[in-house]
Chains A and B, each alone.
Chain A
Amino acid sequence: MTLVAFWVFAGVAIGSALLCITRRSPVASALWLVNTLFSLAAIYVLLDAHFIAAVQVLVYAGAIMVLFLFVIMLLNLGRGGATDIRGPRGMVVAAVAGAVLAGELIVLRLAAPPGQLALPPGQVAEQVAAEGAVRAVAEPLFQGYLVPFEITSVLLLAAIVGAVVLAKRRL
């Protein structure tokens, strides 16, 4: 059952991604990307990452993509204008590069993760079921990874300041 659901959502994600990269209108591309993100969130749920799935919808699909759409409309790139897809030569280059990369990655994924690192199957699912999704992520986040957490907040501050400064009309 989960497998079928997985493949459905995977198919949607891949299809939306394909459409995203091939649409002429940037708005259309953005919307198809939103679709991809939603599908990925569903897949996260199937992988017992409930919290991440929620964050994905909230932050990625909800905030980042909205930002993208705002900028597109701000710059009036919505519709019309010449296509920005490269000519035939560019297409060939892109296709080849993509194919090569895909091939390598697929070969790479055949390597199984090291045995000693693998936890007994199902343990994560039980943990999530026992503690709740949030707590399962929060514990390592605020205990083991506290320093990166704090640094990330500084990063965000820098990003905010930077974005404001860069986008100002007059400094």
Chain B
Amino acid sequence: MLLGPSLLVSAILFSLGVVGVLLRRNAIVIFMCIELMLNAVNLTFVALSQRLGLDGQVFVFFVMTVAAAEAAVGLAIVIAVYRHRDTVNLQNINLLRG
């Protein structure tokens, strides 16, 4: 009963996350938008688990774990980059430019 609306909300949240990633230049804010996307996916899983079985929730569990690990490592990288470049603006982190 709540499946349809949940999926709709999930879609919108995911798209907002993508817009955020495309819109911002601050690395940390982009990270947060990625977390938003992950949460949207979690919502999808949970909504579908109501129909298809509890395996969905187990998967959400894993997603959260990985999100946590990813956030930790990612922020450590941001700190390291900040130490070298004194900026977290993605425009200035352009060593890949060749």
A-to-B contact residues, CB < 8 Å: 2-3, 6-7, 10, 13-14, 17-18, 20-22, 26, 29-30, 33, 36-37, 40, 43-44, 46-49, 51-52, 55-56, 59-60, 63-64, 67-68, 71-72, 74-75, 77, 84-86, 90-91, 93-95, 97-99, 101-102, 105-106, 108-109, 113, 117-119, 121, 124-125, 127, 136-137, 139-141, 144-145, 148, 152, 155-156, 158-160, 162-167, 169
Contact = CB atoms under 8 A, between A and B. Distances in A.
B57 A101 contact: no
A127 B33 CA distance: 34
A105 to B, nearest CB: 4
Contacts of B8: 106, 109
B32 A91 contact: no
Contact of B65 (A36, A90, A108, A155): A155
B78 A102 contact: no
A124 B52 CA distance: 9
A36 B84 CA distance: 33
Interface string B54-66: 1101101110111
11 contacts: A6-B2, A6-B6, A64-B67, A75-B82, A93-B22, A98-B16, A101-B18, A121-B51, A140-B54, A144-B55, A167-B80
Contacts of B13: 13-14, 17, 36
B29 interface: yes
Contacts of A18: 16
